[in-house]
Amino acid sequence: MNSLADLQLFMSVASAENFSAAARQLGLPPSSVSRRIGAIEKRLGVALFKRTTRDVTLTDAGSAYSKSITRILADLQEADLAVSRFSRMPEGMLRIESRPGLSAWLLAPVLPQFLEQYPTIQVDLKLTNGTLETLSPGTDVGIRYGLAKPSSLVTRKIVTTRQGLYASPRYLQRHGEPNSPDELHEHNCLVFSLGDSPVSWRFRRGDYDRTLQLRGSLRSNDVSTLATAVAGGLGISVAHEWVAEEHVRQGQVVRVLPDYEVTTMNSFDLHVCALYSPALKNVQKVRVFIDFLMTTLRASAAASAAAAG
């Protein structure tokens, strides 16, 4: 098998079309270049060059050989570049902006693993109840629900989630379990709200598709508060499946009206997305963080779906 050096030598001769010129480029005696080319031709059993007293040109076999080697050397260069990225660990302060619920239930559990995997990165996580349609000055990555409206920001979908209706067994024992969404008007519905406007829960099953405005003794803009209140038996609430998952596993809450799809947003399939400036597309700390979230959270979602099935 030819060594990489022989392949490069062959390409030098093919480019220069002259043994002496190629030898000068390589810093070798012309006799050595001619001898090594002869050895390659002998091993292959075919002439690669037509030789004259003044220059050399590729034969048909040499031309085909040249095309193959060009691809090989390009692949080797790409492989070197790919591996060299691992020698340059991403580093620096990564500034992230997120909603409180997303941070507590989705980001916080995986950040220790991320920071252990990339010890030269530090994270500055800021929480906001804003829509994150734009990012605060200095922010590298925003994590939000839903695909952004057309803007100058790049949007990448991280994972898709859904919502469900939940209550504690104790609450249902005291107040009964609703048989349809319309019966929720008779229950204490705990709602997530960012303002004073009425809150809508949309339900769908087959031909049934209704949006209901519900209320109860507690409304909050904090997901953790509502989850704790539901587990404590205060009422019924809509929650993201990954928020309720641990409470369900511990037997603190159960799914209510499981045959109905439910959402408090514009879609039953809710996308968690990362937003960042196009100028940061090739910044390593941003790229590895988003790739980490996609891999980790999608694996977690798949595992949860398998367990539920």
Question: Each residue of 77-114: pLDDT tens digit?
Answer: 877 766 665 556 788 999 999 988 888 888 999 999 99
- Please list, in sequence order, all residues whose beta carbon lies within 8 angstroms of the beta carbon of residue 217, skipping any fewer than 6 positions away: 188, 190, 234, 235
Q: Comparing C-alpha atoms, which of 34, 42, 5, 272 is closest to residue 161?
A: 272
Q: Which residue has the tokens 């700390």?
A: 285
Q: Please count the other Cβ atoms lying within 10 Å of the Cβ belonging to residue 169.
A: 13
What pLDDT shows up at residue 1? 45
Q: Per residue in 27-55, pLDDT tens?
A: 889 888 889 998 988 989 999 999 887 78
- Angle, vertex CA 217, rays to CA 216 and CA 219, nearest 5: 80
Q: For the chain, give the percent of residues with pLDDT over 90.
A: 43
pTM of the model: 0.63
C-alpha distance from residue 243 to each of 12, 20, 78, 223, 232 (Å): 63, 73, 43, 8, 15
CA distance 257 to 165: 7
Tens digits of per-residue pLDDT, 118-144?
999 999 999 887 666 778 888 999 998
Q: What is the mean pLDDT of the chain?
A: 87
How many CB atoms lie under 10 A from the CB of residue 248? 17
142, β-bridge pairs: 97, 275
